[in-house]
Amino acid sequence: MGAVTATSDDRRWMAAALALAERTRGRTAPNPNVGCVLVAAGRVVGRGWTQPGGRPHAEAMALAAAGPAARGGCAYVTLEPCAHVSPRGPACADLLIAAGVARVVIALRDPDPRTDGSGIARLRAAGITVVTDVAGDAARRSMAGFLTRRERSRPSVTLKLATSLDGQIALPDGSSRWITGAAARAHVHLERSRHDAILVGRGTWEADAPRLDVRLPGLSDRSPMRVVLSTRPPPSASAALPSSLIGRGNDPQGARDPLWIDSPAGIATLPADHVFVEGGAATAAAFLRADLVDRLLLYRAPILIGAGKAAIGDFGLGDLAAAHGRWRLLDARDLGTDRLEVYERTPCSPA
Amino acid sequence: MGAVTATSDDRRWMAAALALAERTRGRTAPNPNVGCVLVAAGRVVGRGWTQPGGRPHAEAMALAAAGPAARGGCAYVTLEPCAHVSPRGPACADLLIAAGVARVVIALRDPDPRTDGSGIARLRAAGITVVTDVAGDAARRSMAGFLTRRERSRPSVTLKLATSLDGQIALPDGSSRWITGAAARAHVHLERSRHDAILVGRGTWEADAPRLDVRLPGLSDRSPMRVVLSTRPPPSASAALPSSLIGRGNDPQGARDPLWIDSPAGIATLPADHVFVEGGAATAAAFLRADLVDRLLLYRAPILIGAGKAAIGDFGLGDLAAAHGRWRLLDARDLGTDRLEVYERTPCSPA
Ligand SMILES: NC(=O)c1ccc[n+]([C@@H]2O[C@H](COP(=O)([O-])OP(=O)(O)OC[C@H]3O[C@@H](n4cnc5c(N)ncnc54)[C@H](OP(=O)(O)O)[C@@H]3O)[C@@H](O)[C@H]2O)c1
Ligand SMILES: NC(=O)c1ccc[n+]([C@@H]2O[C@H](COP(=O)([O-])OP(=O)(O)OC[C@H]3O[C@@H](n4cnc5c(N)ncnc54)[C@H](OP(=O)(O)O)[C@@H]3O)[C@@H](O)[C@H]2O)c1
């Protein structure tokens, strides 16, 4: 229990903490989505994850569940416990010390300048064994929104494409219902629920009047904010919105008024850390051209379309050499007869 | 050894026979590419496969290798042994009887009316135990060219596409070197060696002057015949060619003069049972429109191109419902950072 380097048990418990962290991904901005597992004598005595809106923190939730059982135990947290007291609650480092945990295993150091190592220092000063950098890559992916906001002052962006084997998203007449099957479409809805915002271009907004909501049993309250990209003012603009957040237009569905932004860079102004871009082709190209895509979700159906509408418009690729080395396959799975591939931007590609 | 139903050992030996059958796939037309393994007392005593040009047959080769060791053994053959004597050699059923094998395991009955069950009958009449339909599906795929020629009076057609993730085969300026990497390109050459003929459209022929050969160490003598699709006469036509085989034009490389056909259906006139269609987009579409594609090879590189050249032109797809259910994933593998997917036409799709 007191080991100062990570064990294989540590990695397993951290995987559990990372799974908990996924529960509120897309609903904690501007806070990170953190997961925490408290283990004492080989048993889980408390579990926590950042609550929607950002509070309580994962550690506070897990400690509340554990009560006195936390004493002498080990806390697995996906992010360094915070060291700053806020009006909304005490510092998690202090809570862990007060609860008497003996050891804290941390996936990732918190880049927030109010913490950034001081949480770890405070735990160590209290005599707690601290192990860091356990499953750091996975934690980075889990909190991509929070970290991208810190590092690049913008949300993390996922581009979704649903295509035929030959990369088409519609027939020449525009019909695209359906290319992928029910399982893939349900997975898209699950992914929507893990983002704060769904964005489409004005072309798609006006052609399809899409609902862009989460239509999965039990998750229908998870529909993210909707965002439309357009250089023109929204049909009915409202005032007092930040810089490139150009308006809040009429919602064809009568609810969840969308926000309108006038350039891909406008995502920085959104109250969102995870943005899900669903097309169309011009919008996908605009985000690629601005180099603002961090993650690709490719849903592919085993069909051929031939002449139709391509998934992505011109994004200014100069030559093939420039196209290579930018994307790395992270995950792939079958969804019915369709296939999902998840790519992430490689570290070597320009930021 | 005398079992009249297949055992798991039988299936393993048949897999070995099927692997041998692959050795001359694309070089035995109009004969089938057959494999044969002779096993006695649990040991392989002879192996054979149809030789280029069609003779000797697989069984004759395996029996010659085994000599007297074949007596009392078991022969695994991917196709029913032939029952007809030809000027080029005796019937394989008679050879097996003469060699004294005790048991013959067969993947597929031979649809050739000169055999079609009479090989099996002759073996049984000689007191040999015969087991049939072992790995029949795999044998069907292995001998797709021979069987398609029998059943549809044309060769089996594989369409190859090498695309980006978004289905493009070139940039707007036509540049396509390289989309896929070295491993994928080597695999294309291996596939070429397994076909009798490689076909491209006149657009590709004239734009790229492609060599369409097999440039793999040890396989450079396996380059198939080259075929060009065009409604216009070849640059320099020669006479006396069958119906829609419209000519034999000048070869820009000075060797391996291509054959020219004026419609996809013209493949029926080729002295080939396996045709490999390599594009371009108009040619891919022409074969799909004529419903003449049996197998798809999709090589995909992890890159995005955006506006470029699509892999497949208009093939007259009326609606999305008609696109579904036609293709089934058969095999997939990683080739470096690229991925190969092999699809086959589903049995339910119209013939
Ligand atoms: N099958 C599928 O998966 C799928 C998914 C999505 C969409 N679609 C289809 O795609 C079609 C629409 O696609 P599309 O490519 O024509 O349109 P789109 O991308 O949805 O919208 C294009 C509009 O987005 C705005 N825009 C694009 N780039 C911009 C930039 N850099 N800055 C600011 N605004 C920008 C412009 O609006 P302004 O002109 O107002 O400036 C532009 O006209 C629809 O028919 C839809 O059904 C299919
Ligand atoms: N990256 C890759 O993997 C790849 C692969 C192949 C090709 N390419 C590129 O694709 C480009 C050429 O493509 P493409 O689509 O323009 O041309 P293509 O398919 O190679 O050739 C088109 C020609 O094929 C003939 N053709 C098409 N359908 C026919 C039919 N039903 N019956 C008879 N003839 C028919 C016609 O010749 P006639 O006009 O003489 O009748 C037509 O002009 C080239 O730039 C090449 O580099 C790229």
The pLDDT assigned to A3 comes to: 77
Q: What is the pLDDT of residues A21-64, one digit of tens each?
A: 999 999 999 999 999 999 999 999 999 999 998 999 999 999 99
The pLDDT assigned to A239 comes to: 37
d(CA A298, CA A295): 10
Answer yes or no: are the C-beta atoms of A154 and A177 closer than 8 Å: no
d(CA A8, CA A14): 10
Q: Which residues contact B348 (CB under 8 A, 6 or more apart)?
A: B325
The pLDDT assigned to B1 comes to: 53
What mean pLDDT, rounded, does chain A reach?
Answer: 92
d(CA B220, CA B351): 35
Average pLDDT over residues A242-251: 50
Superfamily name and number for B155-345: Dihydrofolate Reductase, subunit A (3.40.430.10)
Ligand 1 atom with the shortest distance to the CA of A161: 3
Whether a cis peptide bond, with omega within 30° of 0, leads into A260 is no
- Catalytically active residues of B are 59
Tell me: pLDDT of A2 over 90: no
The pLDDT assigned to B112 comes to: 86
Q: Which of A255-259, B86-90, B167-171 has the highest mean pLDDT?
A: B167-171
The pLDDT assigned to A257 comes to: 86
The pLDDT assigned to A246 comes to: 56
Instruction: Show residues of chain A in contact with B313, CB under 8 Å.
Output: 306-307
CATH topology classification for B8-145: Cytidine Deaminase; domain 2 (3.40.140)
* pTM, entire model: 0.91
The pLDDT assigned to A250 comes to: 46
And the tokens for B299? 């090589």
Q: What is the pLDDT of residues B119-133, one digit of tens each?
A: 999 999 999 999 999
The closest of A113, A138, A155, A152 to A28, measured between CA atoms, is A155
The pLDDT assigned to A218 comes to: 87
Q: How large is the ipTM?
A: 0.89
Tell me: pLDDT of A241 over 80: no
The pLDDT assigned to B348 comes to: 63
pLDDT tier at B68 (50, 70, 90 boundaries)? very high
Of B165, B302, B306, the CB nearest to A313: B306
Cβ contact B320–A312 (<8 Å): no
Q: What is the pLDDT of residues A248-299, one digit of tens each?
A: 554 444 457 899 999 999 999 999 999 999 999 999 999 999 999 999 999 9
Tell me: pLDDT of B255 over 80: no
Tell me: pLDDT of A243 over 50: no
The closest of B294, B300, B292 to B332, measured between CA atoms, is B300
How much of chain A, in percent, has pLDDT values that exceed 90? 80
Instruction: Show residues of chain B in contact with A174, CB under 8 Å.
Output: none
The closest of A242, A279, A284, A278 to A259, measured between CA atoms, is A242
The pLDDT assigned to A201 comes to: 97
Domain with CATH 3.40.430.10 in chain A: 155-345
Domain with CATH 3.40.140.10 in chain A: 8-145
- Which residue is listed with tokens 């022969």? B75
Q: How many other C-beta atoms lie within 10 A of the C-beta of residue A88?
A: 11
Whether a cis peptide bond, with omega within 30° of 0, leads into A249 is no
Q: What is the pLDDT of residues B22-43, one digit of tens each?
A: 999 999 999 999 999 999 999 9
Cβ contact A310–B343 (<8 Å): no
What mean pLDDT, rounded, does chain B reach?
Answer: 92
Q: Is A41 on the interface with B (CB under 8 A)?
A: no
Spacing, Cα B205 to ligand 2 middle (Å): 8
Closest listed ligand to the CA of B277: 2
A291 or A240, higher pLDDT: A291
Tell me: pLDDT of B336 over 80: yes
The pLDDT assigned to B350 comes to: 52
The pLDDT assigned to B349 comes to: 55
Ligand 1 atom with the shortest distance to the CA of A232: 40
How much of chain A, in percent, has pLDDT values that exceed 70? 93
Which amino acid residue places its CA nearest to atom 41 of ligand 1? A231
The pLDDT assigned to B115 comes to: 87
The pLDDT assigned to A113 comes to: 86
Tell me: pLDDT of A7 over 70: yes
Q: What is the pLDDT of residues B202-237, one digit of tens each?
A: 999 998 888 888 989 888 888 899 999 999 999 875
Average pLDDT over residues B174-186: 94
How close is the nearest chain B Cα to the Cα of A278, in Å?
Answer: 15
The pLDDT assigned to A85 comes to: 83
Closest listed ligand to the CA of B320: 1
